[in-house]
Amino acid sequence: MNIPVYVLTSNKHLWCMRPFSYCFDAYWGSYWGGQNVIVAGYEKPSDLPYYMSFYQIANDEIPADKWSDGLIRLLSSTQDEFFIFMLEDYLLTRPVDLHAISALGDLMSENSQILRIDLTTDVLHANGDSRDASDVGYLGSIDLVEKKPGTQYRFSFQAGIWNKAKLLEILKPGMSPWNVELYTEIPEGSLIYGTRQWPVRYANLLWKSKVDLAQLKLLHPEKRDAVITMISEDLLKGGING
């Protein structure tokens, strides 16, 4: 299954789309004839790769405390049953495991109870501890795990595959991304799985709109040198965790 990727951006962080596209093209976009990517925001980024299309959420940017309104608009406008969610500051650090992603997508199509499958180790380490993760099965070399309902950040917007219809049913308008993650009520019986293998690895370039220099170091030196040329000197000087 070739699952589309939805990337949300904002005018403030629009500059991130250049390093995002550079890393995505290196480690994902050029495989399988080009990955289908929808970039959703307000101002259209320049020089998007040919396989990335742009969806304008609105003419005027929706405030951060109503972030969920923009996501609801995007999801309501597409016909995809499943999608992979990413943000503009997720800079891939190595080739993604396309076969694992495809197999996990097939699993979701077979089990309508699955709301989300995490493609990082976010679910595994939710609540800051991987020891309380329960193994629920495997797909080839991919181990599936889950955390108990109510575990903080079990529901998160780190990269993952989503059942769009199920997500739309529970998204509330007028919420910030942080409140969506913390306070969305997950219906009883809905499943959220993670893996131990981390099929999609990336650096979180931003922390509270500042460049995280420690995360930048996760990039391959050649890629990091190229990305640095795409970041303004002021942002680099104001970076954190250097």
> Is there a domain that residue 193 lies in?
no
Average pLDDT of the chain to the nearest whole number: 94
Nearest to 166 by CA among 148, 185, 183, 139: 185
Domain that holds residue 31: 5-112+156-188+201-237
Instruction: Tell me, yes or no, whether 52 lies in a domain.
Output: yes
Q: List pLDDT tens digits, range 107-121.
A: 999 999 999 999 999
- In whole angstroms, what is the distance from residue 96 CA to residue 201 CA? 7
What are the counts of helices (DSSP H) followed by strands (DSSP E) for the chain? 8, 13
Helix (H, G, I), strand (E, B) or coil at 150: coil
pLDDT tops 90 at residue 69: yes
pLDDT in tens, 146-196: 998 888 878 899 999 999 999 999 999 999 999 999 999 999 999 999 999
- What is the number of domains present in the chain? 1
Q: Does a structural domain hold residue 67?
A: yes
- Alpha-carbon distance values, 217 to 16, 167, 203, 222, 242 (Å): 16, 34, 8, 11, 9
CATH for 107: 3.90.550
Choose between 16 and 131: higher pLDDT.
Answer: 16
State pTM to two decimals: 0.95
Asked if residue 145 belongs to a domain, the reply is no
- Give the total residue count for the chain: 242
Segment 130-150 mean pLDDT:
91
